């Protein structure tokens, strides 16, 4: 067996990249404790009231069978409904109204998320637009939308 040949290529040492000085991130202004906002993921009552008000102005309840596009408002409605109310709502949204109250609420929740989660758009009637300055609720809607939902 023949001996292996050694490679004649020279190995080149890699040059180290020049180190950049790290900048201190403490130069940014830190927020005071009272300036911080805690987010629990839940909507407060003011935000829910604003959502209800804008949905009344846009007349969502006339277009959407559920009466709202917001999950928290729909949950409030479900809690207040009796078995007969739940069955009527099932017939409006074309669900088979069988089962007890708990099962109907589960069916309606599932259908609500299917309808509202897919496109996240608001369906409106075509005849009257709130964006039109001649509309009676134009100023109300403009005020709410310019203020936003933050405090």
d(CA 145, CA 97): 38
pTM greater than 0.75: no
Burial of 89 (0-12, 13-18, 19+ CB in 10 A): buried
Encode the chain (151 residues) as per-residue pLDDT tens digits. Answer: 667 777 676 666 666 666 666 665 555 566 565 555 555 666 677 887 888 888 788 777 677 788 888 888 899 999 999 999 999 999 988 899 888 999 999 999 999 888 887 555 555 555 567 777 888 888 888 888 888 765 5
Q: Are 141 and 54 in contact (CB under 8 A)?
A: yes
Q: Which of 150, 112, 132 is nearest to 57 (CA)?
A: 132
Q: Could you identify the residue written with the tokens 């608001």?
A: 122
* Domain ranges across the chain: 45-147
């Amino acid at each position: 067996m023949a001996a292996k040949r050694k490679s004649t290529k020279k190995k080149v040492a890699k040059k180290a990249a020049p180190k950049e000085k790290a900048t201190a991130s403490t130069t940014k202004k830190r927020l005071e404790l009272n300036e911080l906002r805690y987010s629990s993921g839940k909507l407060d009552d003011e935000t829910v009231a604003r959502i209800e008000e804008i949905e009344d102005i846009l007349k969502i309840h006339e277009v959407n069978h559920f009466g709202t596009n917001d999950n928290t408002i729909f949950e409030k409605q479900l809690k207040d409904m009796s078995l007969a109310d739940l069955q009527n709502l099932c017939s409006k949204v074309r669900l088979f109204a069988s089962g007890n109250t708990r099962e109907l609420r589960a069916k309606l929740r599932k259908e609500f998320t299917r309808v509202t989660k897919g496109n996240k758009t608001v369906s409106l009637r075509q005849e009257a637009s709130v964006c039109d300055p001649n509309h009676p609720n134009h100023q109300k809607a403009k005020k709410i939308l310019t203020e936003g939902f933050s405090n």
